Amino acid sequence: MTPAPTTATNPMAAHSAPHTAPVLQVQQVSKGYRLYAHPRQRLRALLTGAALHTSHWALRDVSFALRPGQCLGVVGNNGAGKSTLLKLLAGTLQPTQGTVQCQGRVTAILELGAGFHPDFSGRDNLRFAGSLMGLDAATIARLEASIIDFAELGHAIDRAVKTYSSGMVVRLAFALVTAVQPELLIVDEALAVGDQNFQKKCVERIEAFRRNGCTILFCSHSLYHVRQLCDVALWLDKGQVRSFGDTEKVLAAYEASLRQQDVASEQEAAPSQPLPVAPAAGGDTAHIVSVQVAHLDAASPPQLQSKDLAVTVRARSPESEPPSVGIMLEQAHGVGITSIASHVEQTWPRWNEAEQVWEITLTFPDLPLHTGEYVLSAYLFDHKGLVVCDEWKHCQNFLFVYPTQTPGLVRLPHVWS
Ligand SMILES: Nc1ncnc2c1ncn2[C@@H]1O[C@H](COP(=O)(O)OP(=O)(O)OP(=O)(O)O)[C@@H](O)[C@H]1O
């Protein structure tokens, strides 16, 4: 009988490393699976030593480190390698390449209760699995009552586990593995089981661990929960790290990629519409010369490094009157947010003598948007805004990160009363 909850204890943990030292260090970890066309091929390979497999890399060159007290959310599409990573950290799988180093007790909440022996009572399972977790008999005896209490099992604790409902098994396993606070807690989406009351208790216990400085690694498809719980995030894509760092920044990039996937699958489903073609620039027609957004970094897509969004448009026009400039702001793969034209507000570009261009800057102070990827388009009109002379559609994408995690699209001016 092997317990699904995995616990490894480092005897050096008592003399814990300085607080700045990582609790978890993952260095260039890869995990390859051998795939055989047929089970017979596997047997032949075993007997003859011939290489009859193809390799599939579930993880490729993954590196990151967690400091004490950090809570990491692991996100990614199906098959990205999240479960494989968690199993490697829990020690139930070994990496093909690279190293995983954990300081102190590691508890993994994966496949809860899968290792309980069905013929033994809950109490016997609790004692046996507890000893595999590295708890001595005295500690298990001291914790036993509180584990049974937390699992809400009452007298059922002395019944064979095969008579338990799946919820009872999960409750017992969770209560046991979390009876002692670990240095590193690994949580799969196991918490999506059991009734809501018990789920609440589980989350409360995990949050209490977190407040006490436990380092947590949390894998979930629920970006809402990752936002709630995690201060750092890791985005895995086809086994590789796409992004690691501040939760909002990583999730914004991940969500933008999800939207792109949605758009791509929509376009596959429906024949694409040809994009409107902008009039040829130059010569004696009015045209846009440049569209510049201030304070963008060099990332892809670039991130706005300012609270304000400032867009400068330069244009040429054969007319003596200044042209009008319009700006459209949209979600990168979603809805339009706002469009503004200078002539509507009786404002026109000024003449830049040195560069011989008309020039105007539109600023959105304290940009009232939530985190996401956005795209700008610029338009050039005649002085009265009757004729569209040039358009640069979707000419600049950018990422905007708003530090407070709130659902929705915009922050509207508001008043409480
Ligand atoms: N035992 C195995 N043998 C062969 N390939 C495997 C094995 N386990 C996982 N894989 C493959 O490794 C890749 C990563 O799988 P993994 O389960 O880690 O992804 P995941 O991100 O957890 O996916 P999901 O969100 O669907 O649970 C997938 O392509 C999967 O098919």
Nearest CA, atom 17, ligand 1: 83
Which residue ranges have their beta carbon within 6 Å of ligand 1? 33, 56, 58, 76, 78-84
Contact 361, 311 (CB under 8 A): yes
pTM greater than 0.80 = no
Distance CA 243, CA 211 (A): 26
Q: Considering only CA atoms, which of 199, 187, 186, 217 is closest in space to residue 64? A: 217
What spacing in Å lies between the alpha carbon of 191 and ligand 1's midpoint?
20
Could you check whether 6-255 and 287-400 share the same CATH topology?
no
Distance CA 233, CA 72 (A): 5
Distance of CA 301 to the CA centre of its chain: 17
For residue 266, give every residue at least 6 positions away whose Cβ sits within 8 Å of its Cβ, in sequence order, or none.
none
Banded pLDDT at 5 (limits 50, 70, 90) = very low
Banded pLDDT at 295 (limits 50, 70, 90) = very high
Radius of gyration in angstroms for the set of CA atoms belonging to the chain, rounded to a whole number: 29
Q: What are phi and psi of 62, to 5 degrees?
A: -90, 125
Distance CA 160, CA 163 (A): 6
Nearest CA, atom 13, ligand 1: 58
Q: Considering only CA atoms, which of 194, 184, 114 is closest in space to residue 153? A: 194
What spacing in Å lies between the alpha carbon of 92 and ligand 1's midpoint?
14
**pLDDT tens by residue, 367-376:** 999 999 999 9
Nearest CA, atom 29, ligand 1: 79
Strand 106-109 relative to strand 6-8, pairing: antiparallel
Residue range 6-255, CATH number: 3.40.50.300
Residue range 287-400, CATH number: 2.70.50.60
User: Is 302 a residue whose pLDDT tops 90?
Assistant: yes
What spacing in Å lies between the alpha carbon of 294 and ligand 1's midpoint?
42
Write out the two tokens for 89: 């950290």
**pLDDT tens by residue, 66-106:** 999 999 999 999 899 999 999 999 888 999 999 999 888 88
What spacing in Å lies between the alpha carbon of 289 and ligand 1's midpoint?
49
Residue 80 alpha carbon, nearest atom of ligand 1: 21
Q: What is the pLDDT of residue 262?
A: 65
**pLDDT tens by residue, 199-223:** 778 878 888 888 888 999 988 877 7
**pLDDT tens by residue, 129-141:** 888 888 899 999 9
What spacing in Å lies between the alpha carbon of 86 and ligand 1's midpoint?
11
Give me the residue spans of the domains in the chain.
6-255, 287-400
Banded pLDDT at 400 (limits 50, 70, 90) = very high
